Amino acid sequence: DGGITQSPKYLFRKEGQNVTLSCEQNLNHDAMYWYRQDPGQGLRLIYYSQIVNDFQKGDIAEGYSVSREKKESFPLTVTSAQKNPTAFYLCASTPGGSNQPQHFGDGTRLSIL
Amino acid sequence: RKEVEQDPGPFNVPEGATVAFNCTYSNSASQSFFWYRQDCRKEPKLLMSVYSSGNEDGRFTAQLNRASQYISLLIRDSKLSDSATYLCVVNPSPNFNKFYFGSGTKLNVKP
């Protein structure tokens, strides 16, 4: 089955630690995205990538980093500079073209220990 | 001003009721519009795309009003299983894929 796989489902971060969230897709989609969702809030864009080896900051990129070395993979690192990392993180992809909707992975919940 | 705005609700309706949500967007050049459904602690799932001519999928009807810059979602004959948060999503640019999400409208369908 084609889809987007995020792992882990739950993640705990210690103070001063960097953690990496995995996002893999086998949909052959060009564009990939990372969002953050806080309780009762909408999705906010962290980073997005439209092609391999290229990515752009979203609205809340501070304290996060990404890479796009392969078309199917778009990992997100939450660095120690992100002081309030507790949230639900969602990865999405689109095939390209402005009229195509996004497909989402089932998310990673990150909490601080 | 936010790119996309929605009434957070909650909308509390009885089973069988008809309910409608609106969503306004700020960029008049916006090209693509979608409604997603999000259940508690789950990822958003595409409900329907919104086309200029409007579109219908079973009990769900979506409309676009470009003059007033809003999209709407109508749910007829509400079911208990329709209880969820409904997210409005807008892609404002024809040149690249960047999506803006509303904060969502919560719907509770009661027996």
pLDDT tens for each residue of B6-54: 999 999 999 999 999 999 999 998 889 999 999 998 999 999 999 888 8
Q: Does A50 touch chain B (CB under 8 A)?
A: yes
For residue A41, what are its two tokens?
A: 């809030």
Dist. CA B28–CA B54, nearest whole Å: 18
* A1–chain B nearest CA distance, Å: 17
Dist. CA A34–CA A47, nearest whole Å: 5
Query: Mean of the pLDDT values across residues B69-95?
Result: 93
Cβ-defined contact of B89 to A48 (cutoff 8 Å) = no
Q: Does A20 touch chain B (CB under 8 A)?
A: no
Q: Does A9 touch chain B (CB under 8 A)?
A: no
Pairing relation of β-strands A108-112 and A10-13?
parallel
pLDDT of residue A14: 87
Nearest CA in chain A to B44: A104
State how far the alpha carbon of A88 is from the alpha carbons of A6, A96, B35, B101, in Å: 12, 25, 20, 15
The model's pLDDT over A42-56, given as tens digits with 9 standing for 90+, comes to 899 999 999 999 999
Residue A5 near residue A30, CB atoms below 8 Å: no
- Chain A from 74 to 103: CB within 8 A of any B CB: 88, 90, 94, 96-103
